[in-house]
Amino acid sequence: MSSLEASAEDGLPTLGHFIGGKEVSGGTRKAEVFNPATGEVSRMVSLADAATLDSAVQAAQDAYPAWRQTPPQKRAQILFRFKQLLEQHAEEICTLITLEHGKVIDDAHGELSRGIEVVEYACGISELLKGEFSKNAGPDIDSWSEFQPLGIVAGITPFNFPAMVPMWMFPLAIACGNTFILKPSERDPSASIRIARLLSEAGLPDGVFNVVNGDADTVQLILDEKRIQAVSFVGSTPIAESIYQRGTAAGKRVQALGGAKNHAVIMPDADVDNAVSALMGAAYGSCGERCMAISVAVCVGDEVADAVVARLEERIGRMKVGPGINANNDMGPLVTRAALQRVLHYLEEGQQQGAELVVDGRDLNVEGFEQGFFLGPCLFDQVTRGMSIYQDEIFGPVLCVMRVDSLQQAMELINEHEYGNGTCLFTRDGESARFFTDNIQVGMVGINVALPVPVASQSFGGWKRSLFGDLYVYGPDAIRFYTRRKTMTQRWPASKISEKTHYAFPSS
């Protein structure tokens, strides 16, 4: 009986872990997994204890020597088969995502597609791992470098992209010759187990990829495990900072991506209709539960602000909100009741602090799904920088409109904020666009592009307190993160030549 089918004491199916090529149980603690649209518990998930993690680490350690020596081209062939299987089973995976996360099924397909792009990039690992060679770097001396895997590496991923964010990490990690342990969010864990089975079906050796389900206690076990060489994390800033500090103190290589407060600046010369269309998707897609979601629209001039607010209000009124499994809906529920309550708290604070709530999503009623974690799209106007709805990452369907007099003032807002993940500028003016991209203190910038998420051959990451560590995820930075450079220098002196001893430091 697979762990997906195993019965819990309360009759609900219990999801276990994927270790050493098979699904296993492990850990006495369990957590509830909800269907956000109905508010009902759909299954239980086992939470890994120390023994469970130890078995995963041992499986990864046992698999590492042979996998490290597997030619990169053969690793790529497995990833090619994996990519095909992901495409064949896309509907199944996306349904799992929607039923546990809540996002609309089309959004789940978009998420999976972006993850598959990273798998495609990893299929070029033979080219990506090429080192450097210098012949005759000195007299009869050749020097070259190569990139060797680290060993066992781990990924700790958030609930909002249960397929894509893990695929930001493990395809390139295993392509580089590492073995991998994934700790997905306990809120929507099923997609990770299904993906693990597809990797095995693609021919990945047992133990190269393992999934341990768990919570914060499991994360601490991962950070303290000496055999794990590196940790990748995506989540909130306080947790990212904590993981970075604890992981690096334990001698691990760590990249920890944190929170965001992404601004869209709308200039007087912008195409307002197109800007509003982009804002609608960027603010309310996936119920605002994206680290690249636009949560602040900075309008340059009251005339622009009035036009943007009016158009947003009209477009919000046409949105369809309901269960994500229905592709006709534009927005689904929040992931948990706790997430819903958190956003409701911010709505109350925003009003108390003087912002104008133009659209109040609390009035929403989804017939037949009254117990679901639904909140309609919300729109604030007259937001100022001292308000908590501006300072904090709300992670919900809430868009704040701010009013400034100039591009310079808009940029000061963005540059002074503690987060620096993503931003965008809507304009027709090339000079403004060039100045903005050159001087804004943010890691990912769009011009007339609301969600400037880099393609797989680039790398994803923010500035300031949106990233802890030196390297971004996926793209070229991932190759450097999951490998160590080793440089060799060799000399084969001509035979029968007697050489003197040199005490000076060698030079060419």
The values of phi and psi at residue 326, to 5°, are -90, 110
Length of the chain: 508
Q: What is the largest CA-CA distance in the chain?
A: 92
DSSP states along 12-66: -BEE-EEETTEEE---S-EEEEEETTTTEEEEEEE---HHHHHHHHHHHHHHHHH
Angle at 160 between CA 125 and CA 49, to 5 degrees: 80
Is 123 labeled as catalytic in the residue annotation? no
Q: Which of 94, 176, 291, 378 is catalytic?
A: 291
Q: Identify which of 155, 214, 121, 219 has the alpha carbon closest to the alpha carbon of residue 482.
A: 155
Pairwise CA distance, residues 488 & 502, whole Å: 21
Q: Quote the crossing angle between the two packed helices 164-175 and 190-201, to the nearest 10°.
A: 30
Q: Please give the Cα distance from 93 to 104 (Å, whole number).
A: 13
- Cα separation, 162 vs 99, in Å, equals 12
C-alpha closest to that of 290 among 396, 375, 405: 396
Question: Residue 44: which of 113, 100, 120, 104 has the closest Cα?
Answer: 100
Residue type, 355: A
Per-residue burial over 215-242, b if 16 or more Cβ lie within 10 Å, else e, is beebbebbbebeebbbbbbbbbbebbeb
Three-state SS at 133: strand
Say which amino acid occupies 156: I
> In a 10 Å sphere around its CB, with 0-12 CB exposed, 13-18 middle and 19+ buried, how is residue 494 labelled?
exposed
Spatial contact of 401 and 383, defined as CB atoms under 8 Å apart: yes
Q: Residues near 405 by Cβ (< 8 Å), separated by ≥ 6? A: 300, 301
Angle (deg, nearest 10), helices 90-101 and 72-88: 70
Positions marked active-site: 291
